[in-house]
Structure 1
């Protein structure tokens, strides 16, 4: 799991919820930090899901996802498709959700997100439909 949020308290909360659910979480304060880590990491070791705040200091989550998709285009895909991405935002307008989906996010969750809702979204995106495991993915 890779989580990007510029607010330390939000990162800490995500880490607590996800770690308690059995996930390994890599936290980043900025999209640039996350993308640098992905560039330096073997794609086989990439996380199963990206969680990205849409309003980051000095950048936005839409741009981060666009740069991630460009990075993926130059590397072989281990998972058979693009890295699933969940947009996290304080904005609840339907147009915001539509914009996130159009930008390529697979899900759009409103902050503060209930832990059960977050975990369900991650499971839905990270695991093939045929899997019946109850634990979160380990990466």
Structure 2
């Protein structure tokens, strides 16, 4: 999988469209969760894009420390359903952690994990913090690295 790291103004219209389509496909349709994905924060994010066979199959958006939390943040972690068996989720997380270190000069990262993915994030050095909570009707838990 090829990884691209881009600021919002570096995204092509096609890349932006494909990213929003993937996020909607997974977070709204697959997870049957009605929420406002286009939240006005993409312009402030660093976009980590995974491409396989000329298609965006994995994605995250990252924020510098102080935007969401005291630590840097990773969010909108997504892999296209039919591509999940190839380990692209792990690749996009490693790339996101490296991008935060390179672009934001920090190793401290916080994220809001869907609880069923706790083990996935633990494999990348994250630990749970506090109690679980509902976010958009889905059980989540804070995790830090």
* TM-score, normalised via structure 1 length: 0.40
Structure whose residues are more often strand by fraction = 2
Structure whose residues are more often helix by fraction = 1
* TM-score, normalised via structure 2 length: 0.39
- Higher RCO structure, 1 or 2 (CA under 8 Å, sep 6+): 1
